[in-house]
Amino acid sequence: MGIIKVENIRVFANHGCLKEETLIGSDYRVDLKVKANLSASSISDELVDTVDYVFLNNIVREEMDKPSKLLETVAQRIIDRIFNEDKMVTKTSVWVSKINPPIGGDVEMVTIKLSQKRKSLSK
């Protein structure tokens, strides 16, 4: 097994429960960690044998572009897409952070984390 991390993906998006948040938008940070068997790619040196981090970054950007009230919803969509589109991934963790959240006070960011293992296909 191996781990691929894509860290500090910076995006501007329109998430939030307040109408103003979805109109004005905010800066976000997304961090992603996936587990997969990387033994084949470590030998073959071929992109087809690994999880492409460009692919992971694109999923994050596409899902962050869809407005949601809750960061948890966005994180779950990212996880769902990764599992649906890359069968090599066995586990993923996603951190979604809102930079300078409008919560009254000097707060750098709020972060949610969701982790999920691939469900086994039992018959």
If one counts every other C-beta atom within 10 angstroms of the C-beta of residue 71, the result is 25
Torsion over CA of 38, 43, 45 and 49, rounded to 10 degrees?
-40
Instruction: Tell me if residue 98 is catalytic.
Output: yes
Beta strands in 1-123 (DSSP E): 2-13, 26-36, 89-99, 109-117
Among candidate residues 5, 19, 91, 98, the one labeled active-site is 98
Q: Active-site residue numbers?
A: 98
